[in-house]
Structures are given as C-alpha cells and as structure tokens.
Amino acid sequence: MNKVIAIYPGSFDPPTNGHLDLIARGSKIFDELVVAILRNPEKNPLFSLAERRVMLDALTADFTNVRVDTFDGLTVDYATQVGASAVLRGIRALSDYEYELQMALMNRKLRPELETVFMMPANQYSYLSSHLVREIAHLGGSIKGLVPEMVEERLREKIEAEKIDAVLKK
C-alpha cells in the first residue's frame, strides 16, 4: 500500500505545545508528516526561519516519521512537490473554523485530490496561539506550560536582545 504523506504547514513563530500536540497526533495517523514552515517575507516574524527550523528539528527529533522543512509559494504546490496527499491543520475553537474552512476549500479548488484533515489539540491548548505567546512574553507574563522549555528560553533571550537593542538605539 502507498505511504500516506501529510504536510503540516504554518508559521510556527514560535512553536507552541499546541503545535507539538498536533504533530504527535498527526504522526500517529500518517506514515510521514512534514512540518512545513512558511517562508513569508510579508510577515515580520519574531524568530527567523532558521531559528524556527532549528527549534522544530530539535522538538520533533524523537518522532521517526516526522521531518521539518521550509517552503514558499502555494501550500498545494509544496504538497505536490513532497508527494503529500493531505494537509494537516489544527482547529482549536469555533473561531478558527471560518478561516480554516475557507483555506481548505480554496486549497481543494486549487488541487481537488489534496485532502485537508483537521485535528483538535488537547483541551488545555484550545486557547493557545503563537501570537498570544509572543505578546505575553513581551509583556513579561509567564508562558510556562504553553511552549516547550527550549522555546521559553529562546523567547527570553530574544526579548532581552530586543531590550538591549532598544537601549542602544536611544
């Protein structure tokens, strides 16, 4: 039987425990899962592409059927390039649904044979997003339990560096 390859595309800025929960779930149902970080020059990411890749490589090292890659252009084109037949996306709350449905249906219009598979992360991550993690970290709140320790550490370093930069620019 053919291997079922799925891609899990996203910004992962930074990777959260919600992302890792979904990667763990996806790795159980797909033969191969490619975590695909979007190279998006329009967004102004906190972490560079290389930093996100290094973090995700380390965080997924224990999953034998998961690998990390970067891509640009259309998700459907990247999926074809790596031989994927499915796109994995997480749905946390009803509020995600509209945007996710729009993307899934547009991707289906572009590439009808590519299926989008939605999975729900564990309940404790249903309110978690990279955007909120960045905001809380910048404002000095605790992000313990929301991101892996390695990401917590990198965030702390990044924010310290930004503060030093701001002082030097004054």
Residues known to be catalytic: 19, 43, 92, 130
9 touches ligand PNS (CB under 6 A): yes
Measured from the CB atom, the residue of 45 and 148 that comes closer to ligand PNS is 45
The binder of ligand PNS chosen from 7, 107, 148, 151 (CB under 6 A):
107
Alpha helix stretches (DSSP H) within the chain: 17-29, 49-59, 75-81, 94-110, 130-138, 149-169
- 61: Cβ contacts below 8 Å, ≥ 6 apart: none
106 touches ligand PNS (CB under 6 A): yes
Kindly state the DSSP code that residue 120 receives in the 8-state scheme: P
The binder of ligand PNS chosen from 6, 7, 10, 154 (CB under 6 A):
10
Which region among 8-16, 53-61, 133-141, 148-156 touches ligand PNS (by CB under 6 A)? 8-16
Upper half-sphere CA count for residue 58 (Cβ side, 13 Å): 11
CA-to-CA dists, residue 162 to 47, 90, 91, 123, 149, angstroms = 12, 31, 32, 33, 20
Cα–Cα distance measured from residue 20 to residue 147, given in angstroms and rounded to the nearest whole number: 9
Find the shortest distance in angstroms from Cβ 138 to ligand PNS: 19
The binder of ligand PNS chosen from 7, 22, 34, 38 (CB under 6 A):
38
Site residues, ligand PNS (CB under 6 A): 9-11, 38, 74-75, 103, 106-107
